[in-house]
Structure 1
Amino acid sequence: MVEPDRASSQTVKAQLALRDLILSGGLKPGDRVSELSLVDRLGMSRTPIRMALVRLEDEGFLEAIPSGGFAIKAFTERDVYDAIDLRGMVEGFAARIAAERGVPGGLIRDMKNVLRQIDDIAALPDLSVDHFSEYVDLNGRFHALLAEAADSPVVRRQIERVSNLPFASPSGFVMVQAKLPEARHILTIAQDHHHCVVRAIEDREGMRAEALMREHARLAQRNLQLALGNQGTRNLVPGVVLIRRGAVV
């Protein structure tokens, strides 16, 4: 019998491997997948693969087929924008209740320390892919601290859940941004949002903090729009094969 911790670890491993396979184009929209078809491909047993398939269906990457198994889903640009908007709504709510309830000084200091490190990157005369890679880590840390600032296990779970939706992660398009001519401009705006939301939380301005985080999420939409419209960066979008081009109303 597999120990619970080991079983959970194997499930996460299978989930990440299968997600990478989908996002890299190894599996394309409409492709059918089943436990048996993935055993050899992933080199794992059926149980963690079965659980990984269920989790990825829950995240939106797969849809169940009535006859059995799953199919890889495709997404419209509107689907992606909706996922990003939803993440902005949940993070905005987290920022609002953090401001209304108050946040311990140590946590505020941690957030400001992360922002100082991002400021150091933004001040560099030239921004390389390595700098943006460092920014991805720091940006992820800032958003994690924001979720912590809400002091609500319920809200934190929902942020984790929505951030796992296809293309909704706070850093989902940052590495693509590194290749865009507008890279520094977008980074400057994003960092200003970060600083402003921390000030709003400190000043107990809940509605302002919420509005800032919702607007902040819109930058990811802008990154995506710029990336998809640029032939040189389109293929850098993780999972671009899953996105169907079309008008967004």
Structure 2
Amino acid sequence: MPAPATENERSFSQTVKAQLSLRDLILSGDLKPGDRISELSMVERLGISRTPIRMALVRLEEEGFLEAIPSGGFAVKAFSERDIHDAIEMRGTLEGFAARLAAERGVRNSVLIEMKQRLAQLDELVGQPTLTVDDFSQYVGLNGQFHALLIDAADSAVLARQIDRALNLPFASPSGFVMVQAMLPEARQILTIAQDHHHCVVRAIEEREGARAESLMREHARLAHRNLQLAFRNQGTRDLVPGAVLIRKPVPARY
């Protein structure tokens, strides 16, 4: 029989549960930008004790979803397109460095084999005559696995921790806007470009071309910003962006 969970393990589990529940409330729009969040109100709403709620609020502030209020408590934060662009650039810079390290240090053969297996699976998916929402959902999973393998290839615990922190920034995930593509006429072109980036970066890593591998991953990350711009062309696709309610619409310039 497994040993019973310790008090610290139970507390950690409750904190994670609170963090995920609060993040879902924010991304779904149940908690809107500017809404004040107090520990007591969330204790009642989520049925989780006060200490895990307090820790979850601190973590969500670190992730950028909340901002501390001088008088106490937290408020849901709004984001500009520039904020999102910066988060994507941060992730691209770190993933680019991971690709460079992988190329310059060399990669375990087992990791390269796994990366190529994911490439083959993505090729098969992207090469289909038509793509359904389920196909895009499958792409999200495979794409996430490929990016995780890239980080593994760098073999740097320090860098992996920094990338993990960057991925927690709102809208910075490699697959953050992929599902939006299911509604975009440009979907096929963007996925084809993204998959070509994947192939090229694996080749660059194999051939020990560090600078090229780094440049490719930075450019690859910028596809997410392109997806965002396309999604914002109309309200229908804008609403498909996870957490779109948090994104401020740009104010039209006055002349």
Query: What is the CA distance between 1:247 and its match in structure 2?
Result: 7.1
Which residue does the alignment assign to 1:141?
145
C-alpha distance in structure 1 between counterparts of 2:118 and 2:7, whole Å: 38
Partner of 1:85, secondary structure, is: helix
1:6-155 equivalent positions in 2, closer than 5 A: 6-155=10-159
Partner of 1:63, secondary structure, is: strand
Q: Deviations over 1:159-185 (max 9, x none)?
A: 110011010011100111111111111
Q: Name the amino acid aligned to 1:61.
A: F
1:200-239 equivalent positions in 2, closer than 5 A: 200-239=204-243
Structure 2: runs of 5+ lacking an equivalent: none
Partner of 1:75, secondary structure, is: coil
Q: Name the amino acid aligned to 1:161.
A: R
User: Which runs of at least 4 in structure 1 moved beyond 3 Å after TM superposition?
Assistant: none
Query: What is the CA distance between 1:94 and its match in structure 2?
Result: 0.5
Q: Deviations over 1:36-67 (max 9, x none)?
A: 01012112111111111010000001011111
Q: Name the amino acid aligned to 1:201.
A: I
- In the superposition, the TM-score normalised over structure 2's length comes to 0.95
Query: What is the CA distance between 1:11 and its match in structure 2?
Result: 1.1
1:150-165 equivalent positions in 2, closer than 5 A: 150-165=154-169
C-alpha distance in structure 2 between counterparts of 1:115 and 1:34, whole Å: 46
Q: Name the amino acid aligned to 1:84.
A: I
Query: What is the CA distance between 1:33 and its match in structure 2?
Result: 0.2
Q: Name the amino acid aligned to 2:106.
A: G
Query: What is the CA distance between 1:230 and its match in structure 2?
Result: 2.5
When structure 1 is superposed on structure 2, of 192-201 and 6-15 the one drifting more is: 6-15
C-alpha distance in structure 2 between counterparts of 1:138 and 1:25, whole Å: 28
Which residue does the alignment assign to 1:172?
176
Query: What is the CA distance between 1:2 and its match in structure 2?
Result: 6.0
Structure 1: runs of 5+ lacking an equivalent: none
Query: What is the CA distance between 1:146 and its match in structure 2?
Result: 0.6
Which residue does the alignment assign to 1:245?
249
Residue 183, structure 1, aligned to residue 158, structure 2? no
RMSD, aligned α-carbons: 1.4
C-alpha distance in structure 2 between counterparts of 1:143 and 1:66, whole Å: 39
C-alpha distance in structure 2 between counterparts of 1:2 and 1:152, whole Å: 31
Report the number of matched residues: 248
Q: Deviations over 1:101-147 (max 9, x none)?
A: 00011100000001110111011111000000000000000111111
Q: Deviations over 1:53-105 (max 9, x none)?
A: 01000000101111110011001100001100110000000100110000011
Query: What is the CA distance between 1:231 and its match in structure 2?
Result: 2.6
Q: Name the amino acid aligned to 1:44.
A: I
- In the superposition, the TM-score normalised over structure 1's length comes to 0.97
C-alpha distance in structure 1 between counterparts of 2:160 and 2:138, whole Å: 24
Partner of 2:173, secondary structure, is: coil
